[in-house]
Amino acid sequence: MSKQDAGNANGTGAGATSGARKGAASKPKTDSPFGGLTIDFGRGGGAGGGGVAPALPTIQIAEAPPSAVPATGGPATQPAEQGRTESKLIIVGSGPAGLTAAIYAARANLEPIVLGGTTPGGQLMLTSDVENYPGFPEGIQGPELLALFRAQAERFGTLVLDVDVDAVDLSGRPFRLWARGVEYKAESVIVATGASAMWLGLESETRLRGRGVSACATCDGFFFRDREIGVVGGGDTAFEEATYLTRFASKIHLLHRRDTFRASKIMVDRAKDHPKIDIHTNVVIDKVLGDEKVSGVRLRDTETGEQSEMPLDGLFIAIGHRPNTDAFRDWLDVDEKGYLIVRDKTNTKIEGVFVAGDVHDHRYRQAVTAAGDGCMAAIDAERWLESQGITEATTLTAW
């Protein structure tokens, strides 16, 4: 099941399988924590005659080239110096936004350091099938996609560290960040810490994530065509998710713990009028039922305490997201929901500090939009560093 392709945010990468292009020389394995992954786009067969289009390229996971080999179209890569703590650019976060920013920054010779967190990879690490990220016609596992992001960033010399940022000082340059007692310094910073979906906190819910439990209707609604599903929540997000899911599911049960809603009246009325949506108030979920996949939920009436079971094929948790901004709230502006506020695309009120991905985007929360944000933030950071004389301006760009 896919997820925030989002993100919409919250690791280890999937294992690699060798499969180098036929006729290619054998290459030594790398020590990348994700197994040294690259993609081989070797095309099977020649171009057909008589107006027949060539077959789609076969996607294979191949062993990565040695880090000293020049990367086609970019600067020669060098092994990252594992002990370095200073850089022109530090990126906080290792989801699609942070790792895309790292790819672009490394190709511009900024030698970025990524402080990726102790649970790196963002919300894609919690998913299985991702079918809406471009370039993978057969879909790809969320952890595998993030492994490829990371391998590509490291290929160009990015240093990725799986540590949480505990504190920052953005009062002046170089900016200072602390993680596990180590101080890191940089002339510029990209904040790409993402947002985490809020969950019910049930053991059964955690166990069945990716097996019928989801927090993203946009990502996973397709998998529930002609199925009966539940949506938990009482705000605009829950009603939007329920309405969106009517295009796939045969029946949606909207489950809310109160008898009043935080959602706007127009959203509530729209749901009440929809023949596919049944609204259940004053109920909470005590347990998500199912062994290998969701088969239903055990409900409890908040007024009478009476329990009942409802058969379902899937359950969408729509009680909100929490932006991961704790370390930056004292320095950067946040909106009423706690998301970072950007100015002019990716800039913040502090020159040299940029923002990308779900840590500011609470509208789209897709991996592809986060990756686009990361690209923009890296370009903005590189151009800002040039304007400060920290890096040399060039007429040829690495983008």
Q: What is residue 394's predicted lDDT score, i.e. its pLDDT? A: 53
| Whether the domain at 74-196+323-387 and the domain at 203-319 fall into the same CATH topology | yes
Is residue 354 within 8 A of residue 189, CB to CB? The reply is yes
Residue 260 pLDDT: 95
CATH homologous superfamily, domain 74-196+323-387? FAD/NAD(P)-binding domain (3.50.50.60)
Q: Which residues contact 349 (CB under 8 A, 6 or more apart)?
A: 332, 333, 343
CA distances (Å), 192 to each of 13, 108, 165, in order? Answer: 19, 19, 12
Question: What is the CB-side half-sphere exposure of residue 87 using CA atoms within 13 A?
Answer: 32
pTM score? 0.68
- Say which residues have a Cβ less than 8 Å from residue 398's Cβ, sequence separation at least 6: 74, 75, 104, 107, 108, 109
- Homologous superfamily of 203-319: FAD/NAD(P)-binding domain (3.50.50.60)
Residue whose token pair is 């940022």: 165
Q: Are 36 and 151 in contact (CB under 8 A)?
A: yes
Q: Which of 5, 162, 166, 219 is catalytic?
A: 219
Annotated active-site residue in 129, 220, 358, 373 = 220
pLDDT by 10-residue block (mean), the chain, 399 residues = 40 34 38 44 38 43 39 43 88 97 97 90 74 92 93 96 96 97 97 93 95 90 96 93 96 97 94 97 98 97 97 96 93 94 96 97 91 98 95 56
For the chain, the structural domain boundaries read 74-196+323-387, 203-319
Q: What is d(CA 196, CA 187) in angstroms, rounded to the nearest whole number?
A: 28
- Find out whether 374 and 94 touch, Cβ atoms under 8 Å: no
Considering 5, 129, 216, 380, which one is annotated as catalytic?
216
Report the C-alpha gap between 232 and 333 in whole angstroms.
Answer: 31
Q: What per-residue confidence (pLDDT) applies to 222?
A: 92
Residue 268, C-beta contacts closer than 8 angstroms, at least 6 positions apart: 239, 261
Q: What are phi and psi of 135, to 5 degrees?
A: 100, -5
Q: Distance (Å, rounded) from C-alpha 73 to C-alpha 94?
A: 24
pLDDT reported for residue 126: 66
375 flagged as catalytic = no
